[in-house]
Every structure is written in structure tokens, then in C-alpha cells.
């Protein structure tokens, strides 16, 4: 929507509420609900939020150890600057529109360096300076449960009942049972101007996937966070719940968010395509992938940001354990898709559904651009069952290990800046610290009587 289209919708009585939102460190939408009249009068210019929104954990705790803000600094404000190019209707909420915001320093109005949208914007701008548009799409998987969030909170999450009783991968009969949710989601996203392609059953009981059309990388990240919000809100309205946990049950497959990427020239040509080369992969694509492989371990904390994320990396459940590349091979961390066509691209399969898309895309793009800038040579393709390849590069096994690799990444420090790397290293280490101090149900069941 344009601002004038919003004004017309307000005057026609169609829209009365505008959600003004910014993605936080975890990729959640945080913000305010404006009366449309006030948004049209002045709210479209700016509003404000507490700067702790980029220094909290999942529980919204004010975590110590961040340079950007603290009790000593008084937890001041950020300016929320609506990006009116993202203004859209929200069909699944009555009378509502949504706009995403950039976070600015309250005094200088410079973009906040640690804010997820700013981090990705800088990498997209670097690509354009090199002569390329960065394109991407994220596949988003999640589980659907019969119970509402409230029922699970009141009666215990151990009573989770997936909406289906068996693996529903591509199963049209089984997915018919969840159509009240998935049809509403597809149509809601389409009505919000998000180019939804399809939904499908995934490879577990109660697991679904939603796919949005390839777009420029910033749009893709925006589409991703809105899609997660829509999925939760529509499910809640139907008395169901969903989870984007990377691994909600050790007996079940995890939920991923594969990131497909390619570069295109500024005049709209596929820079990854060379029809005369192996698999149609241009020298530029090979350099881009070489950069991602060289820095894959350093990027993992951006692709797998929670302690739980690492439980997804298990043999035989379609999540990779090795950061290698292969053609159309789902056991590799990086898969070449669309070989020989203008759609040739690299799919990073490492990320879980719990990733922040701005950080994941920014990290992957930074690594790819580093490969191009340094003229890196792509290592040989790994074929066959990469789970059994003992010599292959391992994906970090824990968030603790990934945090150390993130902190030590010279490539990310050069691309993001020391402030950003330190900030997200602290976020990762806080998650580890919180996990380390908590006694789990597994420990109680194992040790309460027998120990």
C-alpha cells in the first residue's frame, strides 16, 4: 500500500489500526498498534521504542554485558522509522495494516549498527557496489499442534498433539486436514502482498512448509518475519498452535529454514549462470560458494542461534552435519539447485526455522562476497552420503563452539564491524549460560530416583 491508499482505506472504514513493527535480535516483530488516524497524521514519520529491544533474550530479560545499552546507560530510546515501502494490509487481522521500521539512533538518526535490518542492508549495498543484486528465498518449516498456546501453557507442553499422526511429506490427503490453517495462511499472505508459492506437508507428523517466491534479499527477510507472525496469529485464531523450534522432540525431524541465494547483474541477468560450465555454474558462483564454505563454521551461530538449534543436526533426518557442497544432494550443508538454468543457485541447508533471516542472509552474503573479492577456488564436490564422510568439514556441534567461531571471525568483523560481532556473540553466550544453569526434565527423569 502507499500512504495515500492507506488514507483512502481509512476514510472508507476499511482500516483503523496500523502495526508499526521492527524485527528484534530473534527475528520477532516488536512495536506498537497505532490508530490509523494518528499514523496518517504523524506516526508515519517516526515513533520510539526502548533500546533494550536489541539487548534482550527470548524471555525479554535485560541481559547484562552488551556495549549498546545497559542499566548504567539508562536504557534510552531508539527511533522507529517506518519504511513505507513495506506498508501492507494484514488480511488475517480485521481492519489492520502493517509497516516495518528501521531503528535509528535517537539523537543522530543514524541507523543502529546492531539492528538486524541495518546489518542486512549494508551487505546488500556491498553487493550492489560490486555490481550485483542479491536474491534469495527461504523455505520455512514448522509443526502444527491441535492444542492452543494457552492450553499448552496451562496443561503442559508434554501433551503436544501434532495435527497429523504420521509423516505427511507431500501427502495431499493428510494436508487436507490442516487446510483451514494453511489455506488461510496462503490467502492471507497473498492478500498482504507477499508472493506465496505453495505449502506442503513436510517429512514428519504434523510438519508443514510454506514457500515464498524468490525476491531481493531484503524483501525475502521481510517476507520471512511477516510469514512467521502470520502463521502464529492465524493458528491462534483457529485454536491451534505452531512451533518454529529447530527441534521440538528428539524423536522427530527438526524444522529448517533453507536459504536459497544467487546474484544477478544490475541489468537483470543471472550472474551465477554459465551454460558452458559444469552444472552451469559460473566462475562467480564458484567463488561465492567457496567463500561460504570457507567461513561456514563462523556463520553457524547466525544460522543456528539457540542451544536447541544444534539438536537438529542429526544423522538420517535430512539436516546436514557437514559443511560441504554437492549437486542436488540433501546430505550436504550446501546444495546446488537449478543446475544449467537461469535459476541455478546455492541452497544453504544449515539454518533452522528459529534463525533470524536478516542475520542469516547477511552472514551468507558477506561470506559469498568475500569469496568473490578474494577470488577463492571452490573445493571439489562431495558426493554420496555425506553423513558418513569422516574427513568432511563439520558443522559446529554446540552453540558454545559456534559462539567462539563467531567471535573469532575476521571476515565477519570486516563485513559487519566489531560492535555487531561482539553484540551477537554476547547473545549466543547468554543463551548458553541460561541453558547451563537450568535443570531439565531429562535430568530429573534420569537421576531423581536412580542417581
270 three-state secondary structure: strand
Residue 47's alpha-carbon distances to 19, 33, 124, in angstroms, are: 12, 11, 26
Quick: pLDDT tens for 362-416.
999 999 999 999 999 999 998 878 788 888 889 999 999 999 999 999 999 999 9
Spatial CA neighbour of 43 closest among 97, 115, 113: 97
CB-based contact 212:196 (threshold 8 Å): yes
Give yes or no for residue 157 having a pLDDT over 80. no
Q: What percent of the chain has a predicted confidence (pLDDT) above 90?
A: 80
pTM assigned to the model: 0.96
What pLDDT score does 153 carry? 85
Backbone phi, psi, residue 274, to 5°: -140, 100
Q: Which long-range contacts (CB under 8 A, 24 or more apart) does 281-288 make?
A: 281/336, 281/339, 281/344, 284/372, 285/344, 285/346, 286/377, 286/378, 287/371, 287/372, 287/374, 287/375, 287/376, 287/377, 287/378, 288/263, 288/346, 288/368, 288/369, 288/371, 288/372
pLDDT in tens, 290-305: 999 999 999 999 999 9
Do 98 and 134 lie in a common domain?
no
Q: Based on the fold, state whether residues 295 and 390 are members of the same structural domain.
A: yes
3-state secondary structure of 164: coil
Neighbours of 402 (CB within 10 A): 26
389 and 431 together in one domain: yes
Q: Tell me: do 266 and 331 sit in the same domain.
A: yes
CATH of the domain at 78: 3.10.20.70
The verdict on 52 and 159 lying in the same domain is no
Position 71 pLDDT exceeds 90: no
Identify any residues that bridge with 35 across adjacent strands, giving them in sequence order.
17
Residue 430 lies in a domain: yes
In a domain, residue 293? The reply is: yes
Residue 44 lies in a domain: yes
Query: HEC states along 204-248?
Result: CECEEEEEECCEEHHHHHHHHHHHHHHHHHHHHHCCCEEECCCCC
- Contact, 82 vs 101, CB < 8 A? yes
Give residue 88's pLDDT. Answer: 98
Same domain for 396 and 250?
yes
CA distances from 404 to 37, 89, 94, 364, 422 (A): 49, 42, 46, 18, 11
| Helix 283-294 and helix 296-303, axial crossing angle in degrees, nearest 10 | 70
pLDDT band at 135 (very low <50, low <70, confident <90, very high): very high
444 has pLDDT over 80: yes
Residues of the chain with pLDDT > 70, as a percent, come to 100
53 and 200 share one domain: no
Range of the domain at 21: 3-112
CA distance 425 to 350: 19
The CATH number of residue 272's host domain is 3.30.590.10
Query: Domain tally for the chain?
Result: 2
Among 77, 112, 147, the domain-final residue is 112
Q: Check pLDDT > 90 for residue 266.
A: yes
- Let me know if residue 210 belongs to a domain: yes
Q: What is the pLDDT at residue 396?
A: 95
Q: What is residue 75's predicted lDDT score, i.e. its pLDDT? A: 87
Question: Do residues 306 and 367 share a domain?
Answer: yes
Q: Do 105 and 136 belong together in one domain?
A: no
CA angle (151 as vertex; 148, 154 as ends), nearest 5? 150
pLDDT at 172: 84
Above 80 in pLDDT, residue 20?
yes
Same domain, 273 and 348: yes
Amino acid at each position: 500500500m502507499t500512504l495515500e491508499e492507506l488514507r483512502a482505506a481509512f476514510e472508507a472504514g476499511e482500516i483503523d489500526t496500523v502495526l508499526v513493527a521492527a524485527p528484534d535480535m530473534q527475528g520477532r516483530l516488536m512495536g506498537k498498534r497505532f490508530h490509523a488516524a494518528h499514523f496518517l497524521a504523524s506516526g508515519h514519520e517516526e515513533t520510539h521504542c526502548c533500546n533494550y529491544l536489541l539487548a534482550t533474550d527470548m524471555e525479554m530479560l535485560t541481559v547484562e554485558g552488551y556495549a549498546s545499552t545497559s542499566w548504567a546507560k539508562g536504557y534510552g530510546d531508539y527511533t522507529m522509522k517506518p519504511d513505507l515501502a513495506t506498508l501492507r494490509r494484514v488480511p488475517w487481522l480485521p481492519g489492520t495494516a502493517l509497516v516495518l521500521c528501521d531503528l535509528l539512533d535517537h539523537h543522530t538518526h543514524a541507523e543502529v549498527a546492531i539492528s538486524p535490518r541495518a546489518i542486512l542492508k549494508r551487505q546488500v549495498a556491498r553487493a550492489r557496489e560490486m555490481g550485483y543484486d542479491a536474491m534469495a528465498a527461504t523455505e520455512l518449516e514448522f509443526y502444527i499442534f491441535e492444542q492452543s498456546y494457552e492450553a499448552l501453557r496451562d496443561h503442559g507442553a508434554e501433551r503436544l498433539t501434532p495435527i497429523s499422526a504420521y509423516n505427511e511429506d507431500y501427502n495431499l490427503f493428510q494436508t487436507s486436514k490442516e487446510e483451514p490453517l494453511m489455506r488461510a495462511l496462503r490467502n492471507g499472505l497473498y492478500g498482504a502482498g507477499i508472493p506465496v508459492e505453495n505449502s506442503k506437508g513436510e517429512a514428519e507428523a504434523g510438519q508443514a512448509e510454506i514457500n515464498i517466491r524468490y525476491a531481493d534479499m531484503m524483501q525475502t527477510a521481510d517476507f520471512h518475519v511477516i510469514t512467521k507472525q502470520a502463521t502464529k496469529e492465524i493458528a491462534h485464531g483457529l485454536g491451534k498452535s505452531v512451533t518454529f523450534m529447530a527441534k521440538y522432540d528428539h524423536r522427530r525431524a527438526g524444522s529448517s529454514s533453507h536459504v536459497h541465494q544467487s546474484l544477478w547483474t544490475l541489468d537483470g541477468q543471472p550472474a551465477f549462470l554459465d551454460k558452458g560450465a559444469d552444472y552451469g555454474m559460473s566462475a562467480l558462483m564458484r567463488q561465492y560458494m567457496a567463500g561460504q564454505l570457507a567461513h561456514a563454521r563462523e556463520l553457524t551461530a547466525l544460522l543456528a542461534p539457540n542451544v536447541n538449534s544444534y539438536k537438529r543436526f542429526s544423522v538420517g533426518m535430512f539436516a546436514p552435519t557437514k559443511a560441504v557442497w554437492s549437486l542436488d544432494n540433501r546430505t550436504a550443508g550446501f546444495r546446488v539447485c537449478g543446475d544449467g538454468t537461469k535459476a541455478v543457485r546455492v541452497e544453504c541447508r544449515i539454518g533452522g526455522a528459529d534463525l533470524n533471516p536478516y542475520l542469516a542472509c547477511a552472514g551468507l552474503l558477506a561470506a559469498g562476497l568475500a569469496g568473490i573479492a578474494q577470488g577463492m577456488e571452490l573445493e571439489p564436490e562431495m558426493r554420496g552420503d555425506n553423513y558418513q564422510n569422516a574427513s568432511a568439514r563439520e558443522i559446529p556441534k554446540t552453540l558454545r563452539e559456534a559462539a567462539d567461531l563467531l567471535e573469532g571471525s575476521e571476515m565477519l568483523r570486516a563485513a559487519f564491524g566489531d560492535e555487531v560481532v561482539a553484540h551477537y556473540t554476547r547473545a549466543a553466550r547468554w543463551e548458553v549460560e541460561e541453558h547451563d544453569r537450568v535443570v531439565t526434565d531429562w535430568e530429573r527423569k534420569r537421576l531423581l530416583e536412580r542417581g
